[in-house]
Amino acid sequence: MTASKKDTLKNAVNQPSWLTKMWERISIVFESKVALVGLIIVLFWVTVAIFAPLLTPYTPTEQDYTAQNQGPSRAHPLGTDSLGRDIWSRLIYGARVVLVMLPISESFWLPLGTAIWGVLLGLIVGSTLGLMGGYLGGWIDEVVMRILDAMMAFPVILLYMIIIAAVGASATNVVLAIAIVGIPGIARLVRSLTLDIRTRDYIRAAETRGENPWYIMFVEILPNARGPIIIDAMLRVGYAIFAMGTLGFLGLGMPPPSPDWGSMVAKGRQFILSGSPWAALWPSLAIASLVVGLNLFADGLREESLRYQ
Amino acid sequence: MSSEQVKHAPILKVKNAAISYETRYGDVEAVRDVSFDVNRASTFGVVGESGCGKSTVAFGIVDFLGANGKIVGGSIKFQGRELVGRSESELRKLRGDQISMVYQDPMQALNPSLTLGTQLAEVLTIHRDISRDEAWQRSIGMLQRVYMPDAANVMDRYPHQISGGQQQRVVIAMALLNNPALLIMDEPTTALDVTVEAVVLDLIEDLKRDFDTAIVYITHDLGVVARVCNEVGVMYAGEMVEVGSVEKIFGDPLHPYTQGLMRCVPKLGSTKESSTLYPIKGRVPAPKDRPRAACIFAPRCDYAAERCRQEKPELFDYRPGHQSRCFYSDDIDPSTWEPPAGLVSELALPGNGKQTPDQPILNIENLKTYYDQESSSLLSLIGMGEKLHVKAVDDISLSIPEGKTLGVVGESGCGKSTLAKTIVGLETPRGGEAEFLGFDLSTPVSERDVNLIKELQMVFQNPDSTMNPSYTVGHQIGRPLRHLGKVKKGEIREEVHRLLNAVRLDGSYYKRLPRQLSGGEKQRVGIARAFASQPELVLCDEPVSALDVSVQAAVLNLLLDIQREHNTTMMFIAHDLSVVRFFSDYVAVMYLGHLVEVGPAENIYSPPYQPYTEALLSAVPIPDPTAEQKHIRLHGTVPSALNPPSGCPFHTRCPRRELLPDNGAICEKEEPPWQYNTEEHRIYCHIPLEKLRKFDPVVTSR
């Protein structure tokens, strides 16, 4: 009795609780200064996006014709645009669409932002195609990869514009566009990882127990490819934000008057030389900082996880 | 100092050397207090299990430890000059000029984008003031010296154009070009096949004599040590625990660790009926867990006394030239050693095998497995090219009786693994029949009945990839139970614990991830997983070749235990002929996809031999320096299976062809007949049995 109690105690000491295990996983971020800086930038944008209604007295579409194209002031910390809308409010509400909510219709929205949903959708389809190509091989591989090659032959921005022009500008369509543009790259990455992992003995073992190919692909192979896939996905969220900015700038983003960083830059652009650069400057900085933050975070994590191997 | 003294002074004198690596968790002392001398024209073998610091010692001699390694104490004297504390540039000059190294993997030592000639000649033009033409000529001479066929032409080739054994010969030639006083070899034959290894080991022996070189030879293989070394140092956990001549180390080992190692390896000729392997209990401590003021081997030692845990023994001269780091070496007599209780289960002891009637459980007739290879011509692009096949398994017929073990041996690339993969259904045979328990085995595993899959499982070679790194041990052993439905849902956890117990792992392993396990433990989990569905036939593809000897002994015992308990039939693939002899009831010898000899194990290891079997046996390194072994060496390499030789596949390398009229003209033209020595023992050869029977046994121990 005592002996068994001792054993459990010993096990408790040897086997760290799930909390410490979680902490070990998270603490990898703090090992790398680069990743930490990136994380802080990203967390800043996520926080302001979530709490946007609490951080500003204005709504993003509220117009004030007495204060147009103003610089930073006490009433408007980042100034106002040509229609007298508060830039800070528009920025943080704009961040919501990018990072924390996906509006499906007037009254219904999903958590997580447009960029993230786009990458997730691309991940699901791209990983499946990559796994199939890499594991099943043969003609499936040939067909899938040739189609994806053809997609990759298009310049990315052209592909975005073709898709949006075809299906119209809305948040869900931007998600679709991000996903479709991301699929070839994700599929190639997953395929190359699969080609390596499928030679391991544990895949042979699964095959000798007669597991079906889908079980092997999604349960045996995919979890072991997760590291590179997660890092790649983070970088992709950055590219997606960049792409959303570009689309908005070209007038293919969220329909006005919703706050969209890209269209804010486009609108503010004409006033730069007339002495009020603020309306273009702040959203540009927002896009740049968020993309740089995500890149730093992903790069830092990659370096750190490689060091652990 | 007189010249006479200089001649006899050791080339290398290592005294109390200590080497540390800087890590994130502070300095880790990988090697401490290592002392040994290496003399001219003599080979000093450093032997020990992995993680004991063998390679660190070798790299330490030339201070080649990488950015985070450094020598923290002691002295290393080379030809009387101190090496510790020398500047990088002085050492670099010495490394190319006076001290040479040969590494394990020749492919990594050679630059794939330069011709071999360029790389060889460069050694001379950099370190000696000679012209390129002369360097080229000397390089050719050296290649001839290492018995490289067609040396002048090899100079113009690239590394990938010659075989692994030839690559290693080039590396050795490169190391010898400057006529170094000291040659350090770090596992130079580990990556090579036995037949190639034997040739390289002969070469090392010849060169030592002709060039008067001192050699430090690092290996984990006791058989290789017995063959090439004059002096041996046994390393354990970063310390040298015993130093002595090779005869004394093998004949009269003083340290309990050395004695333990000897009990772990099967002697060639010993069988599971006649002897038992005794693993060493516990495992090598990690560098940070090594006690400073105690005997480092005490936790695993059967003789450990109180003194061993409180005081650190010194390397003490027990006999002239034979030192041991143990307080009690004089009192310990290994012949009276008794295995401690629980080290080996009752089942593993000899003579407990169940006697069953020899009903064959697996029957294979004329099995063929080919891999398609597209030729690289333009025609094949449009599907009109000539179809080529790699005949990995060609026309193999054999059967395994129930409850017995069939060992399969042969050089790499001879089709052993393909045979196993075909039986288990990972490859589809091109022809022939295979029958097991009434099931037809010619379908791929995806089309097989679940009842057949249950009865036919496999244990894999590489412990690092046998387990999925993402899942716990319990999950992975439980998966076949769940998938194959051998036990009810609610009882899976209980059954997994029973299986863990059966492979001698306690319940705490249930929740562990593979990265928290050692190689031996992973292999045990792999065995538990294969045996989960209680299969009738288990195919083991080199299950112990990646393991250290003491772990290997434990895993072999475990397999024997399970086999005896469940009367499982096994196919055991291995390249180590001593292990196969120990483990198997029947042995099949394969060459280039063909079976060349098959029969009960004792018949295979004694005359009459198929000439290939004879050559294999004479190439195996035996861990006994007093054993007499016939000297038969195969020349050339295994021919390509894309285009196998006509007639007998072995005729291109066969050393016994001259026994036939016309120097074996018939071997090239006709496939040899199967000659039956006994009902069970058959040989695939043109040479009449009467002549084969007259061969001497390959190994005779005194």
Q: What is the SS3 assignment for B25-76?
A: CEEEEEEEEEEEEECCCCEEEEECCCCCCHHHHHHHHCCCCCCCEEEEEEEE
Nearest C-alpha neighbor of B480 from the set B511, B454, B449: B454
Partner-chain contact B483 A211, CB within 8 Å: yes
Nearest C-alpha neighbor of A92 from the set A282, A248, A222: A282
A204 vs B contacts (CB less than 8 Å): 426, 458, 460
Which of B465, B479, B508 is nearest residue A201 as measured by Cβ atoms?
B465
Which amino acid type is present at position A94?
G
B479 vs A contacts (CB less than 8 Å): 209
Question: What's the pLDDT tens digit per position in B150-177?
Answer: 888 889 989 888 877 788 889 988 888 8
Q: What pLDDT sits at residue A58?
A: 79
Query: For A60-69, A241-250, B171-180, B228-237, which range has the lowest pLDDT when averaged over its residues?
Result: A60-69
Determine the distance in angstroms separating the CA of B476 from the nearest CA of chain A, rounded to an integer: 10
As a whole number of angstroms, the longest Cα–Cα distance in chain B is 83
- pLDDT above 90 as % of chain B: 18
Partner-chain contact A223 B479, CB within 8 Å: no
Determine the average pLDDT of the residues in A58-74. 77
Determine the distance in angstroms separating the CA of A222 from the nearest CA of chain B, rounded to an integer: 10
Partner-chain contact A210 B470, CB within 8 Å: no
Partner-chain contact B470 A15, CB within 8 Å: no
Which of B445, B471, B511 is nearest residue A208 as measured by Cβ atoms?
B445
Angle subtended at Cα B539 by Cα B535 and Cα B543, rounded to the nearest 5 degrees: 120
Which of B426, B469, B511 is nearest residue A208 as measured by Cβ atoms?
B426
Name the residue of chain A whose CA is nearest to B467's CA.
Answer: A202
**Distance in angstroms (rounded) separating the CA atoms of residues B496 and B523:** 16
Question: What's the pLDDT tens digit per position in A142-180?
Answer: 999 999 999 999 998 889 888 988 988 888 888 899 999
A213 vs B contacts (CB less than 8 Å): 446
Partner-chain contact A223 B466, CB within 8 Å: no
Determine the 3-state secondary structure of B691 from DSSP. helix
Query: For A78-87, A118-127, B588-597, B650-659, which range has the lowest pLDDT when averaged over its residues?
Result: A78-87
A224 vs B contacts (CB less than 8 Å): 468-470
B446 vs A contacts (CB less than 8 Å): 210, 212-213
Nearest C-alpha neighbor of B603 from the set B678, B695, B690, B700: B678
Report the sign of the C-alpha dihedral through residues B358, B362, B368, B370, in that order: negative
Partner-chain contact B468 A220, CB within 8 Å: yes
Question: What's the pLDDT tens digit per position in B367-404?
Answer: 998 888 766 666 666 666 667 778 888 889 999 998 89
Partner-chain contact A209 B460, CB within 8 Å: no
**Distance in angstroms (rounded) separating the CA atoms of residues B45 and B39:** 12
Tokens of B676: 């039956």
**Distance in angstroms (rounded) separating the CA atoms of residues B471 and B467:** 8
Question: What's the pLDDT tens digit per position in B590-618?
Answer: 998 899 999 998 889 888 889 999 998 88
Name the residue of chain A whose CA is nearest to B539's CA.
Answer: A208
- Burial status of residue A151 (CB atoms within 10 A of its CB: 0-12, 13-18, 19 or more): middle
**Distance in angstroms (rounded) separating the CA atoms of residues A119 and A140:** 24
Distance of CA B127 to the CA centre of its chain: 36
The CA R_g of chain B, rounded to the nearest whole Å, is: 27
Partner-chain contact B453 A209, CB within 8 Å: yes
B345 or A230: which leads in pLDDT: A230
Question: What number of H helices and E strands is found in chain B?
Answer: 25, 26
Q: Contact, A225 vs A192, CB < 8 A?
A: no
Residue reference for tokens 């993680």: B51
Determine the average pLDDT of the residues in B532-539. 90
Query: For A79-83, B38-42, B353-357, B395-399, which range has the lowest pLDDT when averaged over its residues?
Result: B353-357
Which amino acid type is present at position B407?
G
Assess A17–B contact: CB distance below 8 Å, yes or no: no
Partner-chain contact A201 B470, CB within 8 Å: no
**Which of B528-561 are b and which e, b meaning 16 or more Cβ less than 10 Å from the residue's Cβ?**
bbbbbbebbbbbbbbbbebbbbbbbbbbbbbbbb
Which residues of B614-689 form beta strands (DSSP E)?
628-629, 674-676, 682-684
**Distance in angstroms (rounded) separating the CA atoms of residues B537 and B571:** 8
pLDDT higher than 60, residue B702:
no
pLDDT higher than 70, residue A12:
no
B428 vs A contacts (CB less than 8 Å): none
Cα atoms in the Cβ-side hemisphere of radius 13 Å centred on B230: 17
How many A-B residue pairs are in contact by the CB < 8 A criterion? 59
**Distance in angstroms (rounded) separating the CA atoms of residues B99 and B626:** 31
pLDDT band at B356 (very low <50, low <70, confident <90, very high): low
Provide φ and ψ at A205, rounded to 5°: -60, -45
B508 vs A contacts (CB less than 8 Å): 11, 14-15
Residue of A201, A226, A305 to mutate, interface with B, max B Cβ within 10 Å: A201
Which residues of B509-662 form beta strands (DSSP E)?
537-541, 569-573, 586-591, 594-600, 628-629
Q: Contact, B649 vs B395, CB < 8 A?
A: no
pLDDT higher than 50, residue A3:
no
Determine the distance in angstroms separating the CA of A208 from the nearest CA of chain B, rounded to an integer: 7
Question: What's the pLDDT tens digit per position in B291-345?
Answer: 888 888 888 888 888 888 888 888 888 888 888 998 888 888 777 787 777 676 6
Tokens of B386: 């000539």
Angle subtended at Cα B338 by Cα B336 and Cα B344, rounded to the nearest 5 degrees: 150
Cα atoms in the Cβ-side hemisphere of radius 13 Å centred on A93: 22
Partner-chain contact A208 B453, CB within 8 Å: yes
**Distance in angstroms (rounded) separating the CA atoms of residues B190 and B208:** 20
Partner-chain contact A202 B424, CB within 8 Å: no
B636: alpha, beta or left, given left = phi > 0 and alpha = psi -120 to 50?
A: left
Determine the 3-state secondary structure of B625 from DSSP. coil
Question: What's the pLDDT tens digit per position in A180-194?
Answer: 999 999 999 999 999
pLDDT band at B520 (very low <50, low <70, confident <90, very high): confident
Partner-chain contact A210 B453, CB within 8 Å: yes
pLDDT band at B54 (very low <50, low <70, confident <90, very high): confident
Q: Contact, B521 vs B548, CB < 8 A?
A: no
Name the residue of chain B whose CA is nearest to A200's CA.
Answer: B465
Assess A146–B contact: CB distance below 8 Å, yes or no: no
| Greatest mean pLDDT range, A5-9, B68-72, B402-406 | B402-406
Assess A224–B contact: CB distance below 8 Å, yes or no: yes
Nearest C-alpha neighbor of B466 from the set B503, B428, B441: B503
The CA R_g of chain A, rounded to the nearest whole Å, is: 24
Which of A15, A202, A208 is nearest residue B468 as measured by Cβ atoms?
A202
Q: What pLDDT sits at residue A8?
A: 42
Partner-chain contact B462 A224, CB within 8 Å: no
pLDDT higher than 50, residue A6:
no
> H-type helices in B63-115, by residue range?
88-97, 106-109
| Greatest mean pLDDT range, A56-65, B151-160, B338-347, B354-363 | B151-160
Partner-chain contact A14 B453, CB within 8 Å: no
Determine the 3-state secondary structure of B475 from DSSP. helix
A202 vs B contacts (CB less than 8 Å): 465-468, 476
Assess A207–B contact: CB distance below 8 Å, yes or no: yes
B425 vs A contacts (CB less than 8 Å): 208
Assess A200–B contact: CB distance below 8 Å, yes or no: yes
pLDDT higher than 60, residue B181:
yes
Which of A207, A209, A212 is nearest residue B480 as measured by Cβ atoms?
A209
Rounded to the nearest integer, the mean pLDDT of chain B is 85
Residue reference for tokens 């090594």: B290
Which amino acid type is present at position B497?
H
pLDDT higher than 50, residue A5:
no
DSSP H or E run through A308? none
Partner-chain contact B479 A209, CB within 8 Å: yes
**Distance in angstroms (rounded) separating the CA atoms of residues B239 and B287:** 11
> H-type helices in chain A, by residue range?
2-14, 18-31, 33-50, 52-55, 87-95, 114-131, 138-152, 156-167, 171-197, 201-208, 213-215, 226-249, 261-269, 278-307
Partner-chain contact B483 A207, CB within 8 Å: no
pLDDT higher than 60, residue B7:
no
In B, what residues contact A, Cβ < 8 A? 424-426, 445-446, 448, 450, 453, 456-458, 460-462, 465-471, 476, 479-480, 483-484, 508, 511, 526, 529-530, 533
Partner-chain contact A208 B468, CB within 8 Å: no
Which of A15, A202, A210 is nearest residue B446 as measured by Cβ atoms?
A210
Residues 23-62 of A with CB under 8 A from B: none
